[in-house]
Structure 1
Amino acid sequence: MSGYEVAVRAEATLGEGPTWDAAAGRLLWIDILGSRVHGYDPASGRRTVRTTEQHVGAVKPRAGGGLVLNLRDGIGLLDPDGGFRWLHRETVPGRRANDAAVAPDGALWAGTMRYDEAPGGGTLSRVTGDGTVEVVLPGVAVSNGTGWSPDGRLMYYIDSPTRRVDVFDYDGDGGGRVSGRRPLAEIEEGAGFPDGLTVDADGCVWVALWDGAAVRRYTPDGVLDRVIELPVPRVTACAFGGPGLTDLYVTTARVGLDAPGPLSGSLLVVPGAGQGLPQPPFAG
């Protein structure tokens, strides 16, 4: 099935990280290599763009207003008045921020990767509202999609070159500890690489496929039960948005394509694709 529409026609180099900002009624997304944070209000069609001083891997709403940014050199905070400050700064030459997600307890799980995608050069860290950082998964390659089951007891995670969607047991009462890593699903050769993910109200995991021109949905048992084919090869991430969280927003990329199609780099949407889960804001 398909049924996509173009929400924002754009030429993002590396569009990523769609996130529904419920308080503002807008869809946030980024262009990592373009160093831009985009906002889109589907009710009015209003668009905003803010340029960041560094490559930006993710943007999420904060509980007290403003935004948290996963930046090349660490975690930054945008205050409601537009002011910027660092929450945690850690410069590692050759490394940048990538995808991030907010856990049920409000902590930010922020990924990194090397620009050359060298194996073992990336991390997944848990960042609390006071700026405490704990590296949970060292030695990953391309840290990507992260999400939680509706009951908060499972965490899903993608290190893209593994071609797997992995699942952990998640202890929300124990400081966000994870254990028992195991594969949920594996992407077969020729179908692309798993990139970003989101979890719906039924506990199904939606996975964007880089070089796969599609978004797939897997059941909690890891069974592929739905494929949304899209007119762009480099599908990067997906998230539910809109007032009822029923529309699936999908980001796309142009980077590395010899002849990008007309929609590569645009923000797409599949209306009425499913039922999303409300996403908690960052507790900082």
Structure 2
Amino acid sequence: MTAYEVAVLAEATLGEGPTWDAATGRLIWLDILGSRIHTYDPASGRRTVRTTEQHVGAVKLREGGGLVLNLRDGVALLDPDDSFSWLHHAPVPGRRANEAAVAPDGSLWAGTMRYDEALGGGTLSRVTGDGEAEVILDDVTVSNGTGWSPDGRLMYYIDSPTRRVDVFDHDNGRVTNRRPLTEIEDGAGYPDGLTVDADGCVWVALWDGGAVRRYTPSGDLDRVIDLPTPRTTACTFGGPDLTDLYITTARTGLSAPSALAGSLLVVPGAGKGLPQRAFAG
């Protein structure tokens, strides 16, 4: 068992979406239901908080600077000067954004879900830098972790209520041959966010499981990191050498949340991550 540390003691309602910004040496993370974008500089301890006007499901870096936001009503751009614009505005009543990830070609794969978590009420869409959007999966309940193998030929994906981590063949923005990589057993929680490391292994945060698991490319369970609060939501590698595993957590729905529920945790030296891709827009 690997020891965790508390990077940021917080009470995020639904902490999510950790992304390492190598240029600034900061971690960006979110409180989806709190409509907040957080940054954390592990070298100095400095933190910032920015409030958004809508629930924010994901925030990723852009090639030209600034951020791309997966918001309740669509995908938007935040420029370095803080100016805001919609890239793909497509509001659906009762639906919000959830996880998103940047593909090898620089497109954003943006997930949605219904607030009531209605079966099949969400989507996974591919959004290009010029704002063209294509629905890739249209029968999703809670669109969650998405990531690619180091060579870009495989895409991993989680629709949480299925309890599976699925894998697709990926080629130039197209996915085929969906099959399960692994299934989370009853009582161990639900798969939520994921990240892929430099060895091609998949790290999965377990909602109501209080843990992060590492699976090999063949789907074998390789490692378990137990954590002090049950609603573990997402993870990513950061730090100067991309060896520190940052983990977000949530308080929402817990009748008696622990003191660390909603905090940002870190496991130093957990593995070796891949550089974060930036959105080509």
* TM-score (normalizing by structure 2): 0.99
Contact 1:206/1:238, CA 8 A, preserved across alignment: yes
- Cα deviation per residue 1:204-253 (whole Å; 9 max; x = unaligned)? 00000000000000000000010000001000000000111000000000
CA positional deviation for 1:148:
0.2
In 1, Cα distance between the equivalents of 2:82 and 2:237? 26
Question: Which residue of 242, 248, 251 maps to 1:245?
Answer: 242
2:8 maps to 8
Do 1:155 and 1:167's aligned partners in 2 also have CA atoms closer than 8 Å?
A: yes
C-alpha distance in 1, partners of 2:139/2:216? 28
User: Which residue of the partner structure matches residue 146 of structure 1?
Assistant: 146
| Corresponding residue number in structure 2 for 1:21 | 21
The 5-angstrom pairing of residues 111-260 of structure 1 reads: 111-172=111-172, 176-260=173-257
Name the amino acid aligned to 2:261: S
Matched, 1:282 2:275: no
> Unpaired runs of 5+ in structure 2?
none
Partner of 1:63: 63
Q: Is the 8 A contact 1:2 1:230 kept in 2?
A: no
Unaligned runs of 5+ in 1: none
Aligned residue identity for 2:133: V
SS at match of 2:161: helix
Aligned-partner Cα distance in 2 for 1:247–1:237? 14
Report 1:86-125 matches (<5 A).
Answer: 86-125=86-125
Which amino acid letter does the alignment assign opposite residue 105 of structure 2? D
Q: What does the per-residue CA deviation read over 1:26-68, in whole Å, with 9 as the maximum and x for residues that have no partner?
A: 1000000000000011111110110000000000010000000
Equivalent AA in structure 2 for residue 264 of structure 1? A
Cα distance in structure 1, aligned partners of 2:103 and 2:177: 18
Q: Which amino acid aligns with 1:250?
A: I
Question: Cα distance, 1:20 vs. partner?
Answer: 0.5
Letter in 1 for 2:223: R
Q: Specify the SS of the correspondent of 1:161.
A: helix
The residue number in structure 1 matching 2:83 is: 83
The RMSD of aligned alpha carbons is: 0.5
Does the 8 Å CA contact 1:2/1:228 hold for their aligned counterparts?
Answer: yes
| Runs of 4+ residues deviating >4 angstroms | none
The AA in structure 2 aligned to 1:281 is A
- SS in structure 2 opposite 1:189? coil
Q: 2-side partners of 1:170 and 1:241: how far apart? A: 25
Aligned residue type for 1:232: T
Equivalence map 1:36-47=2 (5 Å):
36-47=36-47
Cα distance between partner residues in 2 of 1:141 and 1:75: 19
Deviation, structure 1 residue 25: 1.3
> 1:2: Cα distance to partner?
2.7
TM-score by length of 1: 0.98
Paired position in structure 1 for 2:30: 30
The number of equivalent residue pairs is 281
State the Cα deviation string for residues 64-100 of structure 1 (Å, max 9, x = none): 0000000000001110011111111111000000000
Further displaced range: 180-189 or 20-29: 20-29
